[in-house]
Each structure stands twice: as C-alpha cells, then as structure tokens.
A and B are shown apart, each in its own frame.
Chain A
Amino acid sequence: MKKLLLSIVTGLLITANTHAQTALPILNAESGNRSLEQANCWSFGSASYTNATGLPITGSWSILSNSPSNPSIGACWIKTPWIKPGSGNITLKYKNQSSTAGSIRRIILSYIPHNAADPGNIKEGTLVRFDSISYSSPFPTTSQNLSFAIPAAIANSTVPYKVMISLVGVGGNSGSRLIVDDISVPGTYFADPANNCLPQVQILDKDGDGVADNLDEYPEDKDRAYNVQVPNASASTLMFEDLWPATGDYDFNDFVAAYDAVAITNADNKVVEVKITSNVMAIGASYNNGFAVQFDGLKPDLVQSVKGNITNNSKYSTFNDNGTEAGQDFLNILVFDQARALFPGVGGSGINVNPEGPFVNSEKVTVTIAFNTAKESAIEIKDLKLNPYIIVNQNREIEVHLPDYAPTGLANKKFFGTEKDNSNFEKGVYYKTKNNLPFAIKVEGLVPHMIEKQDILSGYPKLADWAASEGKEYANWYNASEGFRQNKLLIYLEGVK
C-alpha cells in the first residue's frame, strides 16, 4: 500500500510533457521550400521541389525525383516524420515527366521501425519493403492516383514508424523524372523537431511549469525556470572617481567594486527576481560612498520586496514599503549605503590601494529584488536597463554614474555643468567632461585596479589608444595580454585575473 501511494505521488510530481495528437498533414510541396518540411522532420533523398512550367501535378509545386538511372530503393526517396501509423491507404499522385525516355519507372513503399539502439543519430531500424508499382515505357504523363494499403504489421501501431516512398527507375535522362504530389499517409505525427526529429518522448517536468527538468535551473520550483545575465550587467569591475563634478587624479580607484546582476525568469519568460551581487574591492579616497542601482524606465511599484541590501538605517535615504528607495520616479535599489562599513575594523583612508598591503576582503552584498509577475505588471529581460552609481560621501544629492547614464531623481541638478562636468540633459550626455572623459569606467570581468595616485594609463596604457580610436583599436585594453598591463602598478585581489 505504501509503495502504491508512493508511486501515485511520484506520478503527480513527474508531469509528462505530452504533445498534441496531430494527424500527419498531406505533403503537397506548396511551401516551395523543402527545408521547411525537413524542419518538420520529413526527409528527402535526391528528391526536390519543382514549380517548372508544366511539371506540378496540383497547385504550384510538386516533388521531383532525380534522373532515374538506378532502381535501388535508396536512389531517390521521401520519408515521413516518425508517425504512429493509422489504418487505411497511403495515397499519392504520380506522373512522369516524359512518356518514352527510359525503360522502367517504379514507386516503392517501405516502412522503417524505430531502433533506439541505433548508434547513429536517426535511430532507424531495418527497412521493410511492403508494396510497389512499376511502369514500363510509355510512362503516364498525366496524373495517376495511386493507393497502397498500410500493412497490417504497422496499422494502428502504438510505436513509431516512418514510411518511405522511393521514386526510382532505369534509363532516361533529366527530362524523364518521376513527379509526385499530395502524399497522404494516415497516422499521428510523432516526431520532435526540437530533438533531432527523433520520436517524441515523455519529458520529466517535476514542477509542471512546462520546462523540462534538464533545461530548468529550478526543476522543483514552478515559479522559476531560467537564470539570465542582465544586459550590460555581466560580472564586471566598476571603477569610479568620486570628486565629481571636479576631476581627480584619474586613478579610478576611489571606489572599485565587483558587480554582477542575474535575472531569474519563469517559464513564461517573465522576470521573477533580479539578484545584484557586489563587493567593494578598493576605496582609494577618504569618502564613504554608497552604492545603488537604478532600473531605468521601471516604476518602483513593480517590485514586491527587496532583501539583502545593507542600509544601516541610512541617514540619507528613505524607503517604500517594498524596500525600494522612496521619492524616486524610477526603481532605485540602495545596495549599501556605506562602503567603509563593509570593511569592519579597517581604518585609514585608503583600502586595498597600497601595493604593500595589507589586503582585506569586503563583505559581499547580494540583493534580491522580487518582481510582481501578475500579467499586467510582469516585466521581461529586455525591460531591464540597469544604471549603477555611487552616492558620494553620504550626500544623497551627489551621484556619480557611468558615462551617459542619467542621474536619478534625487540627484541635485545644480551640480551639473559645474566644475569639469559637461553634462547636457537635452542631448542625453551625462557625467562627461568637455573632452568627453568619464568619471567612471565599467570593465567586463574582474580586473586589477590601480594603486593609489597612479593615473590609470600607467597601468593600462592601451586604454588611451582604445579611447582615441573610439573603441576600434585595442577593444581588449584591459586584458592580461602582453604589453596591456603594468602589473607593478596594479593590485590583484583574490579572484582577479
């Protein structure tokens, strides 16, 4: 009894991804594109489609054999997808291109069983020939309706078969080919075009969300299916100068952080959660900056909850009930409010910027932002446009963003256009100097940062060439290729390459 109950429960947990029962449609070649049929698991051996004048039997297209010079069953053929054969007759229309050229024209019907043990990709068993019709010259050049009974051995089968129709002959030339059309094979379509056209199989889907367990990152959670890198937020290194709107020493180490954002989506491709992970790698100045991310264009009320951020009862930000920052038009998440608080017990102005060390690891912060997935408010990956920034020295009015990323609604606009900042809101130009120089840089991957007071070009000399060429030269300026880095001026923390 216990075993019976267990098997019932297991049966409920494992939902078969059943396919609809669809009759195999008639093959009439009217798509004009044989590859469309092949994608649906028909296959063709030396048979093509033709719409040449006078050749189609019905409609605009028919199926044309090769020049018949070989009576072998494999010389020219059409195979159905895997089907569960029904009963009745296989029918098709046939005519020959010419009545006299050649000596024999033959249409041969065979079936092919499935053989899972076949070492090849197509898993076909041994072909069984079951019917044929032969013509000798003169061949019919008008349409013939042919009919072949499905053999009892496969009629109404519960296992898959293919039916193969061979179009062969002896003698003649390219002007005396066989033409067939409107091939009808009674049976239920049983191929899987997404799986090498093999027979359909029951797919394990424990959570029943429609995503097979082997493709589901969360096979036992119906609300989650995929992990996707958020666009423009792949694991990267953010490097900031924090004296904006003034420029500094351009060592880009005033605030350095590893940054990554991954979205978790459900089987309907709606974003369920975004996880932002960050840890501070260096603080090369005296300021105590905060780190935040704006989701450009998204409203704060799309979020259900925010967990994992470190706000220390922030003095400069207030929060909505759902954990998003209050007073913002767009969704803003304060990842942490004080970078220095992530290095408990570490004093001094500079952290991890002295080549002599000591080197310390910051607390890693992972923020989980849960989104509403109700139909009317659900968002997709394409809606995620992340805009990371720092809040300078606990002053909520001063933010520094990556170049051409807009400030949030809480940044005080009075600072823009002052000192070295040359932002132009009308043109969408933000956080750049008159010479188009940025105040922050984002680099893909975890890369070493500069030691204190060393201009970034001294550590990454190819950066100048990259910028001067507008990104055309040395696009990999930050890589560890020979001549790309001055390692004695760079600090490699754990995990940095």
Chain B
Amino acid sequence: MKLKTTFMKNLIILSVFALIGLTSCKKQMNENQDLPNNGSSAKKFNEIKTSEKFDWKTTNELTFNYVGIPTIQPVKTTLTISSEDGKIVFYAGTQDMSSNFQTKLVVPTNMSNLVVKYGAVSKTYNTNVSIISFDILPTLVD
C-alpha cells in the first residue's frame, strides 16, 4: 500500500513537471510561430531573396506641402524642417506666408518624427506618412 502511495506521488510529480515542460514548449512554439516568415533563413548575403522592386534605401521620401494663406500684408520668415533634436536640418528657407510651397524630403527610416517651424509656430509630424501638409491656421475653439 505504501509502495502504491509512493508510486502515485511520483506519478503526480512527474505529471506536474511534464505539464510544465509541455506548457513551456508550447509557449516557445507559439513565440516561434509569431516570428514573421520574412526570409530570416538567409545566413549569407547571397542567400537573400528579395523583390526586384526593393531599392535597398535606408531612407524614406516624403512630400512636404506648405499651405499658404492670404495675409493682410506681406509676411516672410524662415521655414525649417528638422529632426526633433534640431541637429539635422532637412530644409530651411525663406517662405512667404501667403505662397504655397512643396518640396521632397529624404528622411532616415530610423527617424520617427520631424519638426516643422514657421516663425513662432512649431508642429511635430510622424514620418510614417507620404505627405506632410503644414499650415499656420489656428485651431478654432468656439
């Protein structure tokens, strides 16, 4: 009887460990399944498979639009587009407040935000877009 009890105890302990082990394996398997199937099997550069459309650029190209507004008298000041820390200036130029302006920006893919300044107006934009439109119109509050 004692032998049977001991056997049962061992069986239960083994089952618990097995369950824990299986759960761990399952989690591991799920984590692996969550990894994107994106060609990471390439171990050598010449094993990489990629579309002929891929351009290998580590930059994104954005279109920037300054939307001019009619002004009572001519107003000109400096328009700047820079990284958030201001260290990289992607554009700086004299801008007439009432004239439209468009330019292309080439922004590193590892840069998530751009800061646009016109006079005292400053706005931050995410770079995860193809077009940035900037104006100095205030937000209406009724």
Contact = CB atoms under 8 A, between A and B. Distances in A.
B76 interface: yes
B101 to A, nearest CB: 9
A193 B110 contact: no
A61 to B, nearest CB: 15
B69 interface: yes
Nearest to A477: B58
Contacts of A127: none
B25 interface: no
Interface string A407-445: 000000000000000000000010010011110011111
Nearest to B92: A226
B62 to A, nearest CB: 10
A13 interface: no
B140 A38 contact: yes
A376 interface: no
Interface in A178-223: 189, 192-196, 210-212, 215
Contact of A194 (B39, B109, B110, B120): B120
A189 B72 CA distance: 8
Given A19-B73, A269-B93, A475-B110, A231 B45 contact: no
A237 to B, nearest CB: 10
Contacts of A192: 75, 119
Interface stretch (A91-99, A297-305, A347-355, A460-468): A460-468
Contacts of A227: 89, 92
How many chain B residues sit at the interface, stated as a range, is 35 or more
Given A196-B120, A435-B46, A228 B39 contact: no
Size range of the chain A interface in the assembly: 35 or more
Nearest to B37: A468
Contact of A35 (B43, B74, B120, B138): B138
A382 B51 CA distance: 29
A464 B39 CA distance: 7
B110 A381 contact: no
Interface stretch (A20-28, A165-173, A366-374): A20-28
Nearest to B118: A194
Interface string B40-57: 101111111111111111
A333 B82 CA distance: 27
Interface string A17-60: 00110101100000100111011100000101000000000000
Contacts of A269: 93-94
Contacts of B103: 381-382
Contacts of A283: none
A35 B56 CA distance: 43
A496 B97 CA distance: 41
Contacts of A225: 94
Contact of B77 (A215, A250, A382, A461): A215
Contacts of A438: 56
Contacts of B51: 436, 470
7 contacts: A226-B89, A228-B89, A441-B56, A444-B59, A444-B109, A445-B108, A476-B110
Interface of B: 36, 38-40, 42-59, 69-78, 88-94, 97, 103-106, 108-111, 118-121, 136-140, 142
Interface of A: 19-20, 22, 24-25, 31, 34-36, 38-40, 46, 48, 81, 189, 192-196, 210-212, 215, 225-229, 231-232, 234-236, 247, 250, 265, 267-269, 381-382, 402-404, 429, 432, 435-438, 441-445, 455-458, 461, 463-465, 467-471, 473, 475-476, 478-479
Q: Which 4 A-B pairs have the closest CB atoms?
A: A468-B39, A194-B119, A444-B108, A250-B45
Given A48-B142, A402-B56, 18 more contacts: A20-B73, A24-B72, A39-B71, A39-B138, A193-B136, A227-B89, A228-B89, A234-B59, A250-B46, A441-B58, A442-B57, A457-B42, A461-B40, A464-B47, A468-B50, A470-B51, A475-B110, A478-B58
